[in-house]
């Protein structure tokens, strides 16, 4: 899955504050396929291949985030709207999908926040809030509950919206409660991949909401750092296709970036008292996801789901 691996490598390297390492050719191919006539990106490159595999909203949203981080041109997020289900207030991953994916909507929420689509973002955050309250947090593509909770914490920590703040708190508390005694995370024993998702979620929350999470997460991140640096990486099959599989190129990236992210947060805590809230998710170009337009909570009427501009 070249595009999937490229996009995720960029996202998690950016989360850790490191320079994205994918080859320029891979990033150029991803950017070109983002402009597919369907408006949706296929997980594998369609360039010169004649592939007719349909694209999906999750891969497209992650690719849009990666393209922004690396300064590529990004299509408007309205291209995703062909998969929006107004009756549910969420995005389907592909046409005719019956059971909507939590992680798809987490990643789409990040794109909506960056594009300033306030009303649509509120609808998706409301759907995620219902899903979490009803215990529907498992990802249909992945065995582990740590993956959706880690991503929920990582993404919502950077969105300045009251519903996002509540979702972030729920995700952080769940991650802290499910850490294994060896410092890692894993449903059936700690794995490199699951531990990395948890670390990125907790570290992003601690950076963006230091007053609320820094003290809570310090011990957990310290134990996780020890686990990641003393245990050999495990290529555990956690992804669901026709059979279980592991994204082998991604696991070393997750281990490296999570280790760096944990070190940054632990160093920040050791150097002095935590500061205030970090930058919120806003529009950005080559500056990365922390730059540009900031979405303020005051811009939302949570009950009506509208912003003062009435845009969505």
CB 210 within 8 A of CB 275: yes
Record the pTM: 0.85
Encode the chain (312 residues) as per-residue pLDDT tens digits.
578 889 999 999 999 999 888 888 888 888 888 877 666 766 555 455 555 566 789 999 999 999 999 998 888 899 899 999 999 999 999 888 888 999 999 999 999 999 999 999 999 999 999 999 999 998 888 999 999 999 999 999 999 999 999 999 999 999 999 999 999 999 889 999 999 999 999 999 999 887 788 888 999 999 999 999 999 988 899 988 878 888 888 999 999 999 999 999 999 877 765 444 444 554 333 333 433 223 333 333 333 344 433 434
């Amino acid at each position: 899955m070249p595009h999937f691996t490229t996009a995720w490598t960029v996202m998690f390297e950016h989360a850790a504050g490191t320079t994205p390492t994918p080859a320029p050719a891979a990033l150029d191919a991803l950017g070109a396929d983002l402009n597919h006539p369907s408006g949706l990106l296929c997980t594998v490159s369609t360039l010169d291949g004649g592939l007719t595999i349909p694209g999906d909203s999750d891969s497209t949203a992650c690719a849009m985030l990666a393209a922004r981080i690396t300064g590529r041109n990004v299509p408007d997020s309205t291209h995703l709207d062909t998969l929006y289900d107004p009756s549910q207030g969420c995005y389907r991953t592909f046409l005719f999908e019956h059971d909507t994916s939590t992680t798809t909507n987490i990643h789409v929420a990040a794109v909506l926040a960056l594009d300033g689509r306030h009303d649509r973002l509120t609808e998706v955050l409301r759907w995620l809030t219902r899903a979490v309250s009803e215990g529907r947090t498992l990802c249909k593509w992945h065995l582990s509950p740590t993956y959706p909770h880690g991503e929920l914490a990582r993404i919502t920590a950077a969105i300045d919206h009251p519903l996002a703040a509540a979702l972030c708190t729920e995700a952080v508390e769940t991650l802290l409660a499910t850490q294994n005694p060896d410092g890692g995370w894993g449903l059936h024993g700690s794995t490199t991949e699951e531990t990395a998702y948890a670390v990125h979620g907790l570290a992003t929350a601690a950076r963006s909401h230091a007053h609320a999470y820094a003290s809570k997460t310090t011990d957990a991140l310290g134990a996780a750092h020890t686990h990641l640096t003393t245990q050999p990486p495990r290529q555990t099959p956690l992804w669901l296709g026709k059979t279980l599989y592991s994204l082998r190129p991604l696991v070393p990236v997750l281990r490296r970036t999570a280790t760096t992210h944990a070190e940054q947060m632990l160093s920040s805590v050791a150097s002095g008292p935590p500061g205030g809230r970090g930058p919120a998710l806003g529009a950005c170009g080559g500056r990365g996801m922390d730059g540009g337009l900031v979405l303020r909570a005051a811009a939302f009427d949570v009950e009506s789901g509208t912003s003062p501009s009435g845009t969505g």
